[in-house]
Chains A and B, each alone.
Chain A
Amino acid sequence: MSMIKSDPPHPDPAVAAEWIEFYYQQGWSDGLPLVPPTEDSVQAMLAAAELTGDEVLGTIDERNAIIPAEKVAINAVMAGCLPEYFPVVLAAVQGLCHPEFHYHNPATSTGGSGLAIIVNGPIGPALGINATNNVFGPGVRANATIGRALRLVMMNVLNTRPGLLDRATLGTPAKYTFCFAENEVDHPWVPLHVERGFRPEESTVTLYASNTLMGVYNQLASTPEPLLREFADAVCNLATPNVYGFNETLIVLAGEHAEVLRRSGWSKRQVQEFIVQHARRTVADFKRAARLPGDIQPEDETTWRYVLRRPEDLLIICAGSQGGSWSACLPGWGNKWTRSITLPIRTGGIP
């Protein structure tokens, strides 16, 4: 038997295991072990955001629900967050309550979206939120626990539980956790939060309801056009729910693809416009796949439907490692009334 000599913080691991099992039995877990909260750990979480436990962070009217700060702190502790992560969790929770995000739609739908927390600004590197290698994968506490805390809040505070108010047909592994930072160092343009009107030195959370994550591979493109045609093809995939032209799509540029665009001198706006113009299908395509009703008429072969309406409906960010010919396309959850929300991360209580 292998054994590592250590100086554990608790003399008896069996006691911790009993607490973990107790929390399982209450039905409060996402399926993984929870960290049992203590008075000190909950207070430390609240103190990191200068909050008291009885403050209300927001409401979800369709759920007849309020979100007290103490409950968010408890769930953040259970998720494994450090106190310094709490302002990020807090901004994400406030995003849930934003009227334009319209929580009840993406949280309840059979479409089963994962809510991506995209972190911008200096807080990302300061907290060690991964923005580079294996950015969507495991191994980094900040990414794993911040995203998990949001989902636990959804389950425990907003009753978004599978089979109850989460009616997803399939769900997604991104429902366990989905948090990452934008790589603002290796970037051809300004990062997302600056594009949306924040200063570079401000830190923000963008909350985005994503239906799935599609890898985009291209090892040969050395100029923008062929690369962006491939992105456009991913954006207008017939299998995604948002192909009628009323939604957002997120593209995560990584490695060599970001470098191709940097070298080209194309602006982000040019890239957005190119993809919007090329992410289209004919009405006949939609009808052949029964995504539109009716028989195919001759004019359907030359009548185009665009997936996105405006360049700003295409969110483009940089993340992932420098090496490799991979990027990602994350179609939006698929309803015109749900928009991604960017909010500042604050440590000084509720604005």
Chain B
Amino acid sequence: MSRRVFDPTVSPAAPAAFSYTPRPKSLRGLRVGLVENTKFNSEVILRKIAERLATRYQITMTHLDHKKSSGHSVTPEAIALFQQQADFVLAGVGD
């Protein structure tokens, strides 16, 4: 006699369709945004990376976003700002 198996799991919903931004041919002169996640040293590490990018590739850091906490998503407002002001974004943990 067969009996129904009750699956207790839920598969995550499929994310909305998205496409990757084409990769730039060169990093030289681009604009970078930073997402700091409130972890200790997160901002320190990101700023240091931005400094090196500026030295090596003349990349300008245009905006630093402070997340509400490491577990929160980046806000839509911050994403909109990055779309206007940055060619790429760096995010780091830094524990």
Contact = CB atoms under 8 A, between A and B. Distances in A.
A73 to B, nearest CB: 9
A62 B37 CA distance: 15
Given A64-B15, A65-B13, A74 B71 contact: no
Contacts of B72: 62, 102, 104, 337
Contacts of A75: 8
Interface string B1-21: 001111111101101000000
Contact of B6 (A42, A158, A336, A337): A42
A102 B13 contact: no
A71 B71 contact: no
Nearest to B6: A37
Contacts of B4: 38-39
A28 B13 contact: no
A109 B95 CA distance: 12
Given A64-B15, A65-B13, A66-B13, A105 B8 contact: no
Interface string A326-340: 000000000111000
Give the contact-size bracket for chain A: 35 or more
Contacts of A68: 10
Contact of A337 (B15, B69, B73): B69
A335 B71 CA distance: 10
A67 interface: yes
Interface string A155-175: 011110000000000000000
A152 interface: yes
A322 interface: no
Contacts of B83: none
B61 to A, nearest CB: 24
A108 B71 contact: yes
Nearest to A152: B8
B10 A62 contact: no
B85 interface: no
A102 B67 CA distance: 14
A22 B4 CA distance: 12
B75 interface: no
Interface in B16-73: 68-73
B12 A105 contact: no
B2 to A, nearest CB: 13
Nearest to B3: A38
A65 B3 CA distance: 28
A90 to B, nearest CB: 16
Which of B6, B7, B71, B73 has the largest count of A CB atoms less than 10 A from its CB? B6
A110 B39 CA distance: 13
B8 A78 contact: yes
Contact of B71 (A64, A102, A158): A102
A75 B13 CA distance: 20
Contacts of B95: 110
12 contacts: A26-B7, A37-B6, A38-B3, A62-B72, A64-B15, A71-B9, A105-B69, A105-B71, A109-B71, A156-B10, A337-B68, A337-B71
B69 A61 contact: no
B69 A64 contact: no
Nearest to A107: B71
Contacts of A152: 8
Interface string A35-73: 011110010000000000000000001111111100100
A236 B54 CA distance: 43
Nearest to B12: A64
Given A37-B6, A77-B6, 12 more contacts: A38-B6, A62-B71, A66-B10, A71-B8, A75-B8, A109-B71, A152-B8, A156-B9, A157-B10, A335-B71, A337-B68, A337-B69
